[in-house]
Amino acid sequence: MKFGIVVNEGPYTHQAADTAYKFTKAVLEKGHDVHRVFFYHDGVNVGTRMSVPPQDDRHIQRNWSELAEKYDLDMVICIAAAQRRGIMDENEAKRQGLDGDNIAPGFRISGLGQLIEAGVQSDRLVTFGD
């Protein structure tokens, strides 16, 4: 089965990012495909490389980045939601006249068309968070 995953809530404020990670990891370990993970609304905050949780806490961004590397996941951050929250890749930072980017490894920025395509290309589109 091919899944599309949508994460709508940010890390450390809601369980959605953790639950989505555990779900995604489980379906991949069972041999299913994940077409795309789309981070939307506050979920885009998962994709900042600037988060530094306490040493005894889980590192949600790192967990997602490592999962993306291991399984070659397509992890997309919504560009409009990212800009509102100050998440930029190198190209977008330059376009906006900013002096640096803060996107984490394994994430990329794109538009809502990527969410629509994930819904069309997947057998199931599973949403985490409101």
Residue 82 to residue 96: CA distance in whole angstroms:
13
Active site residue 38: no
Residue 8 to residue 6: CA distance in whole angstroms:
6
Among residues 5, 6, 46, 78, the one annotated as catalytic is 78
Q: What is the DSSP string of 40-72?
A: -GGGGGGGBTT----TTS--HHHHHHHHHHHHT
Residue 112 to residue 68: CA distance in whole angstroms:
20
Closest CA to 48 of 94, 17, 23, 85: 85
Show the tokens assigned to 80: 């409009």
Q: What angle do CA 105, 18, 113 make, to 5 degrees?
A: 60
Show the tokens assigned to 66: 């490592």
Point out the residues that are catalytic: 78
